[in-house]
A = this chain, B = another copy of it.
Protein backbone atom coordinates (compact mmCIF):
# COMPACT_ATOMS: atom_id res chain seq x y z
CA UNK A 1 0.00 0.00 0.00
CA UNK A 2 1.08 3.59 -0.59
CA UNK A 3 2.74 5.74 2.05
CA UNK A 4 0.77 6.68 5.15
CA UNK A 5 1.45 9.87 7.08
CA UNK A 6 0.12 10.54 10.59
CA UNK A 7 0.20 14.21 11.61
CA UNK A 8 -1.70 16.82 13.67
CA UNK A 9 -4.90 17.95 11.91
CA UNK A 10 -5.31 21.37 10.33
CA UNK A 11 -8.54 23.29 9.74
CA UNK A 12 -8.85 21.97 6.16
CA UNK A 13 -9.07 18.41 7.53
CA UNK A 14 -12.30 19.10 9.46
CA UNK A 15 -14.81 17.95 6.77
CA UNK A 16 -12.97 14.64 6.36
CA UNK A 17 -12.65 14.14 10.14
CA UNK A 18 -16.37 14.80 10.67
CA UNK A 19 -17.24 12.39 7.84
CA UNK A 20 -15.20 9.71 9.64
CA UNK A 21 -16.84 10.47 13.01
CA UNK A 22 -20.29 10.18 11.43
CA UNK A 23 -19.57 6.97 9.46
CA UNK A 24 -19.96 4.74 12.52
CA UNK A 25 -22.92 2.88 14.08
CA UNK A 26 -22.85 5.11 17.18
CA UNK A 27 -21.52 8.26 15.53
CA UNK A 28 -24.28 8.30 12.90
CA UNK A 29 -26.76 9.22 15.65
CA UNK A 30 -24.78 12.02 17.25
CA UNK A 31 -22.83 13.82 14.51
CA UNK A 32 -23.96 16.47 12.00
CA UNK A 33 -21.69 16.32 8.93
CA UNK A 34 -23.99 18.79 7.11
CA UNK A 35 -23.25 21.52 9.65
CA UNK A 36 -19.53 21.92 10.30
CA UNK A 37 -19.83 25.12 12.36
CA UNK A 38 -19.63 23.48 15.83
CA UNK A 39 -16.69 21.33 14.74
CA UNK A 40 -14.72 24.25 13.33
CA UNK A 41 -15.30 26.28 16.51
CA UNK A 42 -14.24 23.35 18.70
CA UNK A 43 -11.14 22.70 16.58
CA UNK A 44 -10.00 26.31 16.83
CA UNK A 45 -10.11 26.10 20.65
CA UNK A 46 -8.58 22.62 20.74
CA UNK A 47 -5.68 23.58 18.47
CA UNK A 48 -4.62 26.24 21.00
CA UNK A 49 -4.36 23.71 23.84
CA UNK A 50 -0.81 22.29 24.03
CA UNK A 51 -2.17 19.15 25.74
CA UNK A 52 -4.45 18.22 22.84
CA UNK A 53 -3.60 16.61 19.53
CA UNK A 54 -6.24 15.81 16.93
CA UNK A 55 -4.29 13.45 14.69
CA UNK A 56 -5.11 12.42 11.13
CA UNK A 57 -3.77 9.55 9.04
CA UNK A 58 -3.33 10.63 5.41
CA UNK A 59 -2.81 8.41 2.38
CA UNK A 60 -2.49 9.97 -1.11
CA UNK A 61 -3.72 13.36 0.18
CA UNK A 62 -6.85 11.76 1.65
CA UNK A 63 -7.70 11.64 5.37
CA UNK A 64 -8.32 7.94 6.10
CA UNK A 65 -8.20 7.88 9.90
CA UNK A 66 -8.28 10.05 12.98
CA UNK A 67 -8.00 10.03 16.75
CA UNK A 68 -7.75 12.55 19.55
CA UNK A 69 -4.92 12.34 22.09
CA UNK A 70 -5.15 14.34 25.34
CA UNK A 71 -2.24 14.65 27.76
CA UNK A 72 -3.47 14.76 31.38
CA UNK A 73 -1.11 15.81 34.18
CA UNK A 74 -2.02 14.42 37.58
CA UNK A 75 -0.99 13.75 41.16
CA UNK A 76 -1.95 10.08 41.54
CA UNK A 77 0.62 7.34 40.80
CA UNK A 78 3.46 9.56 42.06
CA UNK A 79 2.59 12.57 39.94
CA UNK A 80 2.11 10.55 36.74
CA UNK A 81 1.14 12.04 33.43
CA UNK A 82 -1.34 9.93 31.48
CA UNK A 83 -2.76 10.21 27.99
CA UNK A 84 -6.32 9.57 26.90
CA UNK A 85 -7.26 8.40 23.42
CA UNK A 86 -10.74 9.34 22.14
CA UNK A 87 -12.63 9.18 18.86
CA UNK A 88 -10.59 6.56 16.98
CA UNK A 89 -11.95 6.20 13.44
CA UNK A 90 -10.70 4.37 10.34
CA UNK A 91 -12.21 4.92 6.88
CA UNK A 92 -14.38 2.01 5.67
CA UNK A 93 -12.01 1.46 2.70
CA UNK A 94 -9.08 0.96 5.07
CA UNK A 95 -10.56 -1.44 7.61
CA UNK A 96 -8.43 -4.55 8.01
CA UNK A 97 -5.42 -2.75 6.52
CA UNK A 98 -3.62 -2.34 9.84
CA UNK A 99 -4.34 1.39 9.92
CA UNK A 100 -6.05 1.17 13.34
CA UNK A 101 -2.90 -0.42 14.74
CA UNK A 102 -0.72 2.26 13.13
CA UNK A 103 -2.89 5.01 14.67
CA UNK A 104 -2.79 3.53 18.18
CA UNK A 105 0.95 2.86 17.92
CA UNK A 106 1.43 6.48 16.88
CA UNK A 107 -0.56 7.60 19.95
CA UNK A 108 1.50 5.33 22.23
CA UNK A 109 4.78 6.66 20.77
CA UNK A 110 3.60 10.26 21.16
CA UNK A 111 2.53 9.51 24.77
CA UNK A 112 6.02 8.14 25.52
CA UNK A 113 7.59 11.21 23.91
CA UNK A 114 5.50 13.38 26.25
CA UNK A 115 6.64 11.35 29.30
CA UNK A 116 3.28 9.70 29.96
CA UNK A 117 3.38 6.65 32.23
CA UNK A 118 -0.06 5.39 31.23
CA UNK A 119 -2.28 5.43 28.13
CA UNK A 120 -6.00 4.96 28.66
CA UNK A 121 -9.19 4.91 26.64
CA UNK A 122 -12.77 3.75 26.94
CA UNK A 123 -14.77 1.86 24.37
CA UNK A 124 -18.54 1.41 24.26
CA UNK A 125 -19.55 -2.01 25.63
CA UNK A 126 -21.18 -2.79 22.25
CA UNK A 127 -17.85 -2.57 20.35
CA UNK A 128 -16.68 -6.17 20.92
CA UNK A 129 -14.28 -6.11 17.94
CA UNK A 130 -12.63 -2.95 19.26
CA UNK A 131 -12.13 -4.60 22.66
CA UNK A 132 -10.26 -7.53 21.10
CA UNK A 133 -8.23 -5.05 19.04
CA UNK A 134 -7.10 -3.07 22.12
CA UNK A 135 -6.27 -6.25 24.03
CA UNK A 136 -4.11 -7.45 21.13
CA UNK A 137 -2.23 -4.13 21.36
CA UNK A 138 -1.44 -4.79 25.04
CA UNK A 139 -4.22 -2.83 26.76
CA UNK A 140 -5.97 -4.37 29.77
CA UNK A 141 -9.74 -4.05 30.27
CA UNK A 142 -9.21 -3.25 33.95
CA UNK A 143 -11.85 -0.55 34.40
CA UNK A 144 -15.54 0.20 34.02
CA UNK A 145 -16.22 3.41 32.09
CA UNK A 146 -19.08 5.58 33.39
CA UNK A 147 -20.70 8.48 31.52
CA UNK A 148 -23.22 11.11 32.52
CA UNK A 149 -24.66 13.33 29.77
CA UNK A 150 -25.38 16.88 31.01
User: A residues near B, CB below 8 A?
Assistant: 14, 17-18, 21, 27, 30-32, 38-43, 45-46, 49, 51-52, 54, 68, 70, 72-81, 84, 86-87, 108, 111-112, 116-125, 131, 134-135, 137-150
Within the oligomer, what is the number of copies of this chain? Answer: 2
**Residue in B closest to A40 when the chains form the complex, CB atoms:** B79
Most B-side CB within 10 Å, residue of A31, A46, A49, A122: A122
Known: A42-B73, A111-B150. A145 touches B116 (CB 8 A): no
A117: contacting residue among B125, B143, B150, CB under 8 A:
B150
Could you tell me the distance in whole angstroms from the C-beta of A75 to the nearest C-beta in chain B?
5
Complex alpha-carbon distance, A32 and B76, angstroms: 10
